[in-house]
Amino acid sequence: MTAQLKLEGAGLLVLFAGAYFYLDYGWGFFALLFFAPDLSFFCYLLNTRVGAVAYNIMHHQGIFAVLLVVGFYFSIDWLIQLSLVFLAHSAFDRMLGYGLKYPDDFKHTHLGWMGKKK
């Protein structure tokens, strides 16, 4: 994965976390939920296809961007908070090289193969 993509992930992490704290939401909810999307890893115990679908839903920036807009439009604070935390987590994962998963292998992502080159 290129340094440019990692830098983009870092920038988005700062943006989403910064927006969260700019809106004066507390640390507790952020800290409690920051790694919650990674619970989707447990779906890999069933099989790689189910694991990939669950992981991709919990890490898809588009889904949480839409939820963020809905939260702002309807003034739903908890939805705004949840969306910003999950967007920050997803950006953090992108910064580390974790992309959305293909169903064949956990290490096969939309950013390329993780680890050793295949």
| pLDDT tens digits, 13-70 | 999 999 999 999 989 999 999 999 999 999 999 999 999 999 999 999 999 999 999 9
pTM of the model: 0.91
Sign of the torsion formed by the C-alpha atoms of 105, 110, 114 and 116: positive
Kindly list the domain boundaries of the chain, sorted by start residue. 3-105
Pull the structure tokens for residue 56: 């991709």
Task: Tell me the backbone φ, ψ of residue 5, rounded to 5 degrees.
Answer: -70, -35
By C-alpha distance, which of 72, 98, 96 is closest to 83? 72
Q: Which residues contact 76 (CB under 8 A, 6 or more apart)?
A: 70
User: Left, alpha or beta for 103 (phi > 0: left; psi -120 to 50: alpha)?
Assistant: alpha
